């Protein structure tokens, strides 16, 4: 069963300043959340963490240059990369642009086999609702194999965002609402835990969808994380911008989650309550 949050409360408050948070570098605090957990931490606002080629020999220095590799700022070293014409483009305003046609990124396999829990936080601007699109997904298709999860924008050809997860049974939490209609800038947070059938989706600090459906048993798997498209650029291309992305192999406490959401929110001007 899916339940969704209410109307425009999820829009969050937009502001040109963040009060005390505007001058706080939250990156070290978010890096500390990893402990020994699997996952990644990508910041596409920083040219210093970007390279034009997957071999990481040519730094990104100016708007319009392709992003061939993004440095993983977590302790895990799982850089995301892409090649050829499939590379998103960097904008110095603080994001990578995915064209909805062939742009994607992919990491080496990330080993989540020691955990059945995951938290995903992303700051994105979705530019189209014409067809289902991947923001991030572990493995080829989250619902076709054990131990997978994904975050979608939109989840179908509708004004929606969605989160999916699977132990050996797949479930989804979908927020279909005018507040999620493209074009829209949002901080999204997916939380999933297989053993307790937890699957929820937050938008701008407010829970907007959840599922109580059975996720089955088992832990998550060891597979590549796909960003901006399904299965290494096969289809379901995201049309929009990604500023920051965090994936961590555990559930965060409320305080930790807010820290992660605020880190993601800083470059897009959304204030997380």
- According to the model, what pLDDT value does residue 21 have? 54
- Full-model pTM: 0.91
Instruction: For residues 150 and 179, give the distance between their C-alpha atoms in angstroms, rounded to a whole number.
Output: 21
pLDDT digits (tens, 9 = 90+) for 28-66: 999 999 999 999 999 999 999 999 999 999 999 999 999
Assess contact for 98 and 67: CB atoms under 8 A: no
Return the CATH number of 2-268, one of 2.60.120.200, 3.30.450.20, 2.60.40.790, 3.40.50.10680.
Answer: 2.60.120.200
Full 3-state SS string of 15-35: CCCCHHHHHCCCHHHHHHHHC
Write out residues in the chain with pLDDT < 50, as ranges. 1-20
Q: How far apart are CA 170 and CA 40, in angstroms?
A: 23
The pair phi, psi for residue 121, each rounded to 5°, is -130, 130
The pLDDT assigned to 273 comes to: 86
């Amino acid at each position: 069963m899916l339940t969704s949050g209410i109307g425009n409360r999820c829009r969050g408050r937009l502001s040109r300043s963040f009060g005390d948070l505007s001058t706080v570098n939250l990156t070290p605090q978010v890096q500390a959340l990893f402990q020994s957990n699997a996952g990644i931490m990508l910041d596409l606002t920083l040219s210093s963490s970007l390279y034009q080629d997957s071999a990481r020999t040519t730094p990104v220095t100016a708007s319009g240059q392709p992003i061939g590799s993004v440095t993983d700022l977590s302790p895990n070293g799982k850089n995301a990369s892409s090649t050829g014409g499939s590379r998103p483009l960097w904008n110095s305003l603080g994001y990578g642009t995915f064209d909805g046609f062939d742009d994607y990124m992919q990491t080496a396999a990330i080993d989540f086999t020691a955990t059945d829990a995951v938290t995903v936080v992303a700051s994105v601007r979705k530019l189209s609702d014409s067809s289902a699109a991947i923001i991030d997904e572990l493995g080829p298709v989250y619902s076709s194999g054990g131990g997978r999860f994904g975050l979608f924008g939109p989840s179908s050809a509708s004004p929606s965002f969605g989160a999916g997860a699977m132990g050996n049974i797949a479930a989804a939490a979908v927020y279909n609402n005018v507040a999620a209609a493209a074009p829209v800038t949002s901080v999204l947070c997916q939380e999933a835990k297989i053993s307790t059938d937890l699957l929820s989706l937050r938008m701008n600090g407010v829970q907007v969808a959840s599922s109580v459906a059975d996720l089955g048993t088992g832990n998550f798997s060891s597979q590549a994380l796909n960003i901006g498209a399904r299965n290494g650029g096969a289809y379901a291309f995201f049309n929009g911008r990604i500023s920051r992305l965090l994936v961590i192999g555990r559930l965060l406490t409320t305080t930790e989650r807010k820290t992660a959401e605020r880190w993601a929110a800083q470059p897009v001007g959304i204030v997380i309550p």
